[in-house]
DNA sequence: TTAAAATGTCTATTGATATAGACAACCATA
DNA sequence: TATGGTTGTCTATATCAATAGACATTTTAA
């Protein structure tokens, strides 16, 4: 552990940020579960091969995120540690998927717009380019913590009023049900990862350099007719996807 | 586009690296396919709200990676653009999954060891902790470019000699076949994303700050008996996963 | 009560990052 | 062949990132 060069210099990523990222991940993976504390600053400095002040910068950033809390004389305590699991199945649903992993889940409608389908959206929804679609911008939370930002498109003709339905039910499943679609299935999911954009960073309360897990998904009704195409961005250090075959 | 603050200051990630990451992604997404060139430095500087010299640092980094090539008087040409698609299905296979997306695929055995199963590995493989397993460290390439680094565990009793079989066949599927297992299926896949470690960075020829897509997978034989547990790390800007339900 | 161990604060110095401006070198084309 | 557009190079300056050392403050436990 100590000998391994875990951080690199002159790469455009400050050492304190590389170290903060590694510690955040170690906490997520339960590396410090025995003590509930991060190792002392001097020990970390030795492990990473940097000055103690550099480690302090990293810990300050994590404290800013609310992940750790330093107590003079005692050490640096771990405040929060979470990684939600999302099953991706033929019947993938956000709220049901979280299940008992959170006490309270919410879905907030940030924006709603009716627009003409781009070539890509039209292809996914089986429409002609230019046909009307409704776009919803939603933010999903688990226990008041933002988990994902999603952009969804629906055929406007079939799902007029889905924005209002989502706002009251706070869930796509409920909104569909209210509009006369009791059931739907996941057809395809594409998963990628990327750095967060500035807006996603703000909505998901992330720090720069943070990673997003991105799921592009298409849902159909039971006849196989596309009903929704969505691009969901998840804070990568808070979730994992599970695919059961 | 121009008004959007796409980069942030004083975050521990240098502006030139943030810009390099965004341009690399834009190239991957085909944003500059019309011209085959990156916009002029002065235009990019305006778009990102930074000095032209900062953009030049970003482009120099991308040139170092072999993604672009600057030509004095003409502009900055796009050299390489790639994003492989990996279908994750009940019959997920690396080589077959790449299909015609690459001319040549290889699988190199970096290391092989017989060890006692940890609690986690034992759980995944349905063994008792301490039972012997074989661990393979492999590097998979497509057209000479590294695509993924994988660590795999196999029950040692059943698959003695799998290291040698992999070395000759350069594929898990072939190695299984040689050891008398003609077919196997993917049981579960867990997908996460994280920053690359120093060793993965070296093996996958990545730059710091780079993102990994991580797939933890368990394969079984047709009777449902676990035959392999693996942790594969993919360079996130070179691949995407597709899940068909 | 004391000592050890931990975090907090301050000063100083060096190198990397970012901005700014000016001009050279090169390419395509009107 | 002249011109506009583009990348390449140089100098200068200000700020951030990282190291180094010293010492204060707080907690825990001997």
Q: Tell which residue, B199, B198, B239, B197, has the closest CA to residue B215.
A: B239
Cα–Cα distance for residue pair A90/A185, rounded to 1 Å:
5
Gap from A82 CA to chain B (nearest CA, Å): 13
Average pLDDT over chain A, rounded to an integer? 88
Q: For residue A6, what pLDDT is reported?
A: 64
Q: Which residue of B has its CA nearest to A213?
A: B193
Nearest to B89 among A5, A89, A245 (CB): A245
In chain A, which residues have their Cβ closer than 8 Å to the Cβ of B244? 187-188
- pTM reported for the whole predicted model: 0.76
**Is the CB of residue A201 less than 8 Å away from at least one CB of chain B?**
yes
Gap from B44 CA to chain A (nearest CA, Å): 17
Q: Tell which residue, A184, A199, A227, A207, has the closest CA to residue A93.
A: A184
pLDDT in tens, B48-98: 889 999 999 999 988 888 889 999 999 999 987 767 788 888 888 888 877
CA pseudo-torsion sign A144, A145, A149, A155: negative
CA pseudo-torsion sign B148, A10, A5, B193: negative
**Is the CB of residue A132 less than 8 Å away from at least one CB of chain B?**
no
Check CB contact under 8 Å for A236 and B188: no
Q: Are B24 and A195 in contact (CB under 8 A)?
A: no
Nearest to B245 among A14, A185, A208 (CB): A185
Q: Tell which residue, A157, A115, A112, A158, has the closest CA to residue A138.
A: A112
Q: Which residue is associated with the tokens 């980069």? A: B7
Cα–Cα distance for residue pair B222/B146, rounded to 1 Å:
31
> Which two structure tokens, joined as six digits, stand for B116?
């006692």
| Sheet strand arrangement including B226-235 | A84-88, A239-244, B185-195, B211-220, B226-235, B145-155, B132-142, B105-116
Q: Is A245 helix (H, G, I), strand (E, B) or coil?
A: coil
- In this structure, chain A runs to a length of 245
Q: Tell which residue, B140, B146, B36, has the closest CA to residue B80.
A: B36
**Is the CB of residue B118 less than 8 Å away from at least one CB of chain A?**
no
- What is the Cα A74 distance to its own chain's centre? 33
Q: Are A151 and A136 in contact (CB under 8 A)?
A: yes
**Is the CB of residue B190 less than 8 Å away from at least one CB of chain A?**
yes
Cα–Cα distance for residue pair B7/B96, rounded to 1 Å:
39
Q: Tell which residue, B166, B158, B56, B63, has the closest CA to residue B111.
A: B166
Q: Which residues of chain A have pLDDT under 50?
A: 1-5
Q: Which residue of A has its CA nearest to B15?
A: A12
**Is the CB of residue B202 less than 8 Å away from at least one CB of chain A?**
no
Across chain B, how many H-helices and E-strands are there?
Answer: 8, 11
Q: For residue B109, what pLDDT is reported?
A: 96
Q: Tell which residue, A183, A182, A174, has the closest CA to residue A90.
A: A183
pLDDT in tens, A4-61: 446 777 678 888 888 888 888 888 878 898 898 999 999 999 988 899 999 999 999 8
Cα-trace Rg, chain A:
21
CA angle in degrees (0–180, nearest 5) for A191-A194-A196: 125
Check CB contact under 8 Å for B11 and A17: yes
Q: For residue B10, what pLDDT is reported?
A: 67
Q: For residue A5, what pLDDT is reported?
A: 47
Listing DSSP states for A27-40 in one string gives HHTTTTTTTTEEPP
Cα–Cα distance for residue pair B59/B178, rounded to 1 Å:
47
Check CB contact under 8 Å for B208 and A22: no
pLDDT in tens, B115-132: 999 999 999 999 999 999
Q: For residue B82, what pLDDT is reported?
A: 64
Q: Are A217 and A229 in contact (CB under 8 A)?
A: yes
Q: Tell which residue, B194, B55, B209, has the closest CA to residue A14.
A: B209
> Which two structure tokens, joined as six digits, stand for B34?
């019309």
In chain B, which residues have their Cβ closer than 8 Å to the Cβ of A187? 244-245
- In this structure, chain B runs to a length of 245
Q: In 10 A of CB B11, how many CB atoms?
A: 18
Q: Tell which residue, A54, A52, A80, A55, has the closest CA to residue A65.
A: A80
Gap from B193 CA to chain A (nearest CA, Å): 6
Give the pLDDT mean for B22-35: 86
Share of chain B above pLDDT 70, in %: 95
Cα–Cα distance for residue pair B134/B128, rounded to 1 Å:
14
Lowest mean pLDDT among A162-176, B153-167, B190-204: B190-204
Share of chain A above pLDDT 70, in %: 95
Q: For residue A82, what pLDDT is reported?
A: 64
Indicate the helix (H) or strand (E) that contains B54. helix B52-64
């Amino acid at each position: 552990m100590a000998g391994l060069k875990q951080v690199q210099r002159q790469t455009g990523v400050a050492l304190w940020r590389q170290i903060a990222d590694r510690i955040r991940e170690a906490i997520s993976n339960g590396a410090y579960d025995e003590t509930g504390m991060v190792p002392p600053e001097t020990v970390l400095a030795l492990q990473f091969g940097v000055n103690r002040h550099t480690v302090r910068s990293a810990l300050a950033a994590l404290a800013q995120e609310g992940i750790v809390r330093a107590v003079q004389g005692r050490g640096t305590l771990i405040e929060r540690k979470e990684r939600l699991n999302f099953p991706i199945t033929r019947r993938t649903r956000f709220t049901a998927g979280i299940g008992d992993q959170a006490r309270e889940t919410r879905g907030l409608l940030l924006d709603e717009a009716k627009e003409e389908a781009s070539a890509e959206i039209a292809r996914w929804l089986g429409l002609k380019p230019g046909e009307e679609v409704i776009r919803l911008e939603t933010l999903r939370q688990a226990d008041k913590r933002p988990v994902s930002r999603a952009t969804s498109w629906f055929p406007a003709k079939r799902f007029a009023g889905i924005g209002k339905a989502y706002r009251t039910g706070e869930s796509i499943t409920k909104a569909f049900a209210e509009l006369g679609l009791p059931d739907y299935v996941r057809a395809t999911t594409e998963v990628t990862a990327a750095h967060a954009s500035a807006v996603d960073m703000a909505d998901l309360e992330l720090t720069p350099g943070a990673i997003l897990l991105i799921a592009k998904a298409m849902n159909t009704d039971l006849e196989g007719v596309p009903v929704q195409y969505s691009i969901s961005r998840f804070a990568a250090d808070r979730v994992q996807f599970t695919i059961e075959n």
